[in-house]
Structure formats: structure tokens, C-alpha cells
Amino acid sequence: MTRPSRSRSKPSSQRTRFQRRYAGGWPTIAAKTRQLALDRCILNPFHKAEAVHHLRYRDIRGKIAGREIPGWDVVPLCRRCHGIVHRQQYWYRDKRNPASNNRQRWFVLWGLRLRFWAWVVVSRIGWIVVLGLAPVIWWVLTGS
């Protein structure tokens, strides 16, 4: 007696919604965003970035899915900070079309953008300073 074949399980409704909302290039965009911020949360750099947060889903040309710009449309956050920026006072929810019209409130949006780019610049300058001081440190340690 043979066993009846099992059909493949259907994706969950949450997974289906995710695939509809995010374009095929989303994993690459999310990875670039995290890489720019050295995989750190921009609100608390002591925490690892666990989520890449959309500041908005639309611009004047329509939906931005697949053409998000790191630091302009998306920023990396830890789980705790991601929950905070989704609070009602920081996040605008459109009841008629939530999938594409939800967005960050303007004062938080610009604060997150500025923090992202400040973190990127400071983290890069930190390495420049270390590399600039490396010959001096080498000279002091070796005595030559």
C-alpha cells in the first residue's frame, strides 16, 4: 500500500502580503542599507540592526518598491527601536490604503534620515582616524 502524496504547504498569508509589498530586489536593498550602517541600529549603535525600516512606501512617482534608497527611504533599526518608531505619534496610518500610504511622520522621518547619514559619516571617519594614526602608533611601539 502506498502513501498518498502530500502537496506542498501553501505560504502563510503574512508571507504572501510581504511578497506583494516588497519587490524582488528587497534583500539586496536591505543588505546594502545594513552594510552602510555597519549592521548597527541608527538610534542605538550598541544594538545590531535586526530590521530595515521603511520611512515611506510612496513618492511623487508612486510606489517605491524595488527602488528604495538607503538612508532616504529605508534605515536599519534594532527590534526595540523599530517598535518605537511604529508608535501612533511617530507613524501615520492610512486606513483606506495602508499598504502603500502608511509613512513616518515628517519630523521623525527627517530625524531618522539625519541620524543615518551622521552615523555613516562618523563610522567612516573613525576608521580614517585610526588608519591615519596607525603609522604613529607603529613608530611608538617599535621605537624606530
Give the C-alpha separation, 24 to 29, whole Å: 10
pLDDT digits (tens, 9 = 90+) for 40-89: 999 999 999 999 999 888 777 777 778 889 999 999 999 999 999 988 88
pTM of the model: 0.70
More confident position, 23 or 10: 23
Distances (CA, A) of 79 to 16, 49, 68, 76, 140: 22, 8, 21, 10, 43
pLDDT digits (tens, 9 = 90+) for 120-138: 988 888 777 767 877 887 8
Give the angle subtended at the CA of 130 by the CAs of 76 and 133, to the nearest 5°: 165
Going from N- to C-terminal start, the domains of the chain cover 13-118
- Does residue 21 surpass a pLDDT of 70? no
Q: Are 105 and 63 in contact (CB under 8 A)?
A: no
Please tell me the predicted confidence (pLDDT) of residue 114. 93
- Does residue 12 surpass a pLDDT of 70? no
Please tell me the predicted confidence (pLDDT) of residue 24. 74
